[in-house]
Structures are given as structure tokens and as C-alpha cells.
Amino acid sequence: MYEATATAPVNIACIKYWGKRDTKLILPTNSSLSVTLDQDHLRSTTTSRADESFAAGDRLWLNGKEETIKEGGRLGVCIKGLRAWRKQVEENDSSLPKLSEWPLRIASYNNFPTAAGLASSASGLAALVASLARLYQLPQTPSQLSIIARQGSGSACRSLFGGFVAWREGSDAAGSDSLAEEVAPREHWPEMHALICVVSDAKKGTSSTSGMQRTVETSTLLQERLRIVPGRMDAISKAIQDKDFESFAKITMVDSNSFHSVCLDTSPPIFYLNDVSKSIIAVIEELNRSSGKIIAAYTFDAGPNAVIYALEENMPKVLGAINKFFPTAEESEDPFRTTAEDLPASF
Ligand code: PMV
């Protein structure tokens, strides 16, 4: 039996991917850019095994529960693509075991809530692709592997890299240039930190797949967004290169708001933010105003949870503001805790 394990972290987009121009190949309507979180507690870990003696057919378990691998489905497409690359390796070296012909057993775990707007599909699919690439000893680069991961879940292609990552939309109809690449490694800007505020760990209402499809079909505002995003991609890449936090933060916040506006412009409308999410926006806007400069940036994916980016030196201030307005269950026993009326009045 041959076995390989790989882990992949969650990534959080600053320029959001929202909309597909090809739903089968998962080709996006715009390029996107994200930060890969390097905390140990937001990861997927996948172990893949190949053995000649396994009963026919591949099988996969996610958090201990078996999932069906459908022929032509997302998991099936990823496994098929990687197997085809392994076959090429075997054709070039006949001394290698014929792993490509053996059934697979794959087990994947997330150490955080699945499908709660915390991009579990991104880390999950990236870990799957990385573990199979290791099992099959593939020579492909992470960018080439990202073409396969993209077909499992679009944003997964970005989780194959650490640090600051761009997913280039590409122009090829077959998707050969729609891939992820590193904009800057984590070490370039280690002061950049992310705070995750879990507003709700319930499964999200509208999946990103059906939400995107509805937006592409019905939103006129999406066309305006697609016109603006290329400029934002250039500007945020420059902000990252220059370690210019204020520019990075402004673009991150405006793009999150643009994405949620496009969701609202969808028919029927999609609401991912709840009242707590909106209060977090108010608190961060007020924190930036009272600091006299932008020290924190919020961003929200397809769910109510907030991710707040700030430089390490400012994180205590951000945490102070969040804890003040959003006490945890224990702290809220305190009769003197802050109430909703204390929230900044400007929102
Ligand atoms: O890859 P998906 O289908 O889970 O879509 C992710 C979409 C957003 O998280 C909302 C934005 C992004 O770029 O990650």
C-alpha cells in the first residue's frame, strides 16, 4: 500500500471571486486575490492511500462520513485529472508501481466548522489535490496543480500557496491559464494578521455555486463590478509589494462591500450578512475613524462571519473594540456589558 498525507489552510479573499463564465471547468468572471491563513487551527488534512488489493472503486470520507464520488462530479474530476498525470509518469518510467490503476481510499478532516462561510471547500479540495500529488509523486508545479484544484472548488486553487495569492481568470476556453500564483510569500509581510469572528457556525443558506449562478444570470451591477476589479487587482498587488496597509485595507473593505452589493442586486436577492456582521462593519469603520488612520479591514465571504485584517501592532486595539461590543457568552452575564445602543450611531 502507498500512502501520503497533506494539509492545506483556509484562504480569505480580499478581492472576491464571484461568478463563473464556465460552470463545468470553473472559470471565473474575474481574477481574485487572497491571503492564506497560516494558523494551525484552520486546516484540512487529507490522507490518500492506493492499494492493488482494495475493492474496485475509489472511496472518500469527509470528517468520518463517507461522500459519494460521482463520475464527472467535482471530486471525480480532480481524481481523474491527477490520475491521468500519474499515468504519464508511469509511461515514462516502467519500473514505477502502477498506482494509477489502483483504487483509492481518501480521508479528509477539517479542524473547524464545515461550510460556515470559512472556506472549508477551499482548504479541503486543496489538501485532497496536494495529498494525491504527493502519493502519485507528480512533477507538476503548484500553479499547474491549481488548475485541477480549481475544478474541485474555485477558491481551492488559491489554498495551494501560502502568503498572498492571485487567481488569474485567464482567457483560454479550456482553462489552461486560469490558475493561482504567488503574489508575495508570507515572510514578505509577517506583520499582517487576521482575526476571525465566528458570528454563526451554522451551514450557509445559499451555496456559493447557486448564488454565483443566480448573480451571473440576474445582476446588472455585476457588469460594473467586472469593469472595476482589474484595477483593484493591480492596486492591491502594489499595496502588498509596498506593505502599504491603508491601501490594502481600503481595497479589501470596498471589494467586500461590492461583492455583497452584487448579492443584493441578484434576483431573488442573497443576504449573507446579518445584523451582527453589519455591527462589526460599524465598529471597524468607527475604530478607523477614531484612530485617525485605517488600522483594520473587514471582509465577509458567503456567510455572516467576519475576517478582520490588521497589522500585529494594532491587533490588541482591534481585539479590544470587538470584545467591548461583542462580549462572549460568559462575559455577557455582566450587567454592565455594552448593549446594542452603545454601538456607533453612524450606522
Ligand atoms: O470556491 P467557492 O465556490 O467556495 O466560492 C468562494 C466565494 C467567496 O468565498 C465568496 C469569495 C472568494 O474569492 O473566496
Residues 211, 97, single domain; the answer is: no
Q: Which of 160, 176, 102 is nearest to 136 (CA)?
A: 102
Query: 262 phi and psi, to 5 degrees?
Result: -65, -35
Report the C-alpha gap between 41 and 49 in whole angstroms. Answer: 24
Residues 338, 217, single domain; the answer is: yes
Which stretch of DSSP H or E encloses residue 60? Answer: strand 59-62
Residues 113, 224, single domain; the answer is: no
Residue of 155, 167, 209, 236 with the most ligand 1 atoms within 8 Å of its CB, for mutation:
155
Residue 206 maps to a domain: yes
Residues 6, 142, single domain; the answer is: yes
Q: Is 302 in the pocket of ligand 1 (CB under 6 A)?
A: yes
- Contact between 25 and 172 under an 8 Å Cβ cutoff? The reply is no
Residues 277, 177, single domain; the answer is: no
What pLDDT, on a 0 to 100 scale, did the predictor assign at position 201? 72
What pLDDT, on a 0 to 100 scale, did the predictor assign at position 112? 76
Task: Kindly write down the DSSP assignment for every residue of 160-213, as one continuous string.
Answer: GS-SEEEE---S-TT-TT--EEEEE-GGGSTTEEEEEE-S--SPPSS-HHHHHH
108 three-class SS: strand
Residue of 16, 212, 272 with the most ligand 1 atoms within 8 Å of its CB, for mutation:
16
Q: Which of 248, 234, 244, 239 is nearest to 299 (CA)?
A: 248
What pLDDT, on a 0 to 100 scale, did the predictor assign at position 96? 97
Residues 230, 169, single domain; the answer is: no
User: What percentage of the chain exceeds 70 in pLDDT?
Assistant: 92
pTM of the predicted protein model = 0.92
From 141, 161, 185, the end of a domain falls on 185
The answer on pLDDT for 38 being more than 90 is no
- Contact between 199 and 276 under an 8 Å Cβ cutoff? The reply is yes
| Cα 61 to middle of ligand 1, angstroms | 23
Domain that holds residue 334: 193-342
Provide the pLDDT confidence category of residue 293 given band limits of 50, 70 and 90: very high
- Contact between 44 and 69 under an 8 Å Cβ cutoff? The reply is no
What pLDDT, on a 0 to 100 scale, did the predictor assign at position 345? 40
178-188 per-position pLDDT tens digit: 999 999 999 99
Residues 153, 8, single domain; the answer is: yes
| Cα 301 to middle of ligand 1, angstroms | 7
From 150, 169, 185, the end of a domain falls on 185
ipTM over 0.95: yes
Q: Is 153 in the pocket of ligand 1 (CB under 6 A)?
A: yes
What pLDDT, on a 0 to 100 scale, did the predictor assign at position 82? 98
Looking up residue 40, the CATH number of its domain turns out to be 3.30.230.10
105-159 per-position pLDDT tens digit: 999 999 876 645 566 689 999 999 999 999 999 999 999 999 999 999 999 999 9
Looking up residue 301, the CATH number of its domain turns out to be 3.30.70.890
How many CA atoms lie less than 13 Å away from 187 in the CB half-sphere?
A: 0
Residues 173, 217, single domain; the answer is: no
The answer on pLDDT for 216 being more than 80 is yes
The grid cell for 237 is 498587488
Residue 17 maps to a domain: yes
40 three-class SS: coil
What pLDDT, on a 0 to 100 scale, did the predictor assign at position 343? 41
What pLDDT, on a 0 to 100 scale, did the predictor assign at position 334? 45
Residues 119, 150, single domain; the answer is: yes
The grid cell for 171 is 482567457
Q: Is 159 in the pocket of ligand 1 (CB under 6 A)?
A: no
Residues 155, 200, single domain; the answer is: no
- Contact between 9 and 36 under an 8 Å Cβ cutoff? The reply is yes
106 three-class SS: strand
Residues 156, 262, single domain; the answer is: no
Report the C-alpha gap between 136 and 131 in whole angstroms. Answer: 9
From 185, 220, 244, the end of a domain falls on 185
User: What percentage of the chain exceeds 90 in pLDDT?
Assistant: 86
Residues 102, 30, single domain; the answer is: yes
Taking the CA atoms of the chain, what radius of gyration do you get in angstroms? 21
54-90 per-position pLDDT tens digit: 999 999 999 999 999 999 999 999 999 999 999 999 9
- Contact between 117 and 277 under an 8 Å Cβ cutoff? The reply is no
What pLDDT, on a 0 to 100 scale, did the predictor assign at position 327? 82
What pLDDT, on a 0 to 100 scale, did the predictor assign at position 200? 81
What pLDDT, on a 0 to 100 scale, did the predictor assign at position 336? 42
The grid cell for 200 is 454563526
297-347 per-position pLDDT tens digit: 999 999 999 999 999 999 999 999 999 999 875 554 544 444 444 444 433
Number of compact structural domains in the chain: 2
Provide the pLDDT confidence category of residue 204 given band limits of 50, 70 and 90: low
Report the C-alpha gap between 270 and 212 in whole angstroms. Answer: 10
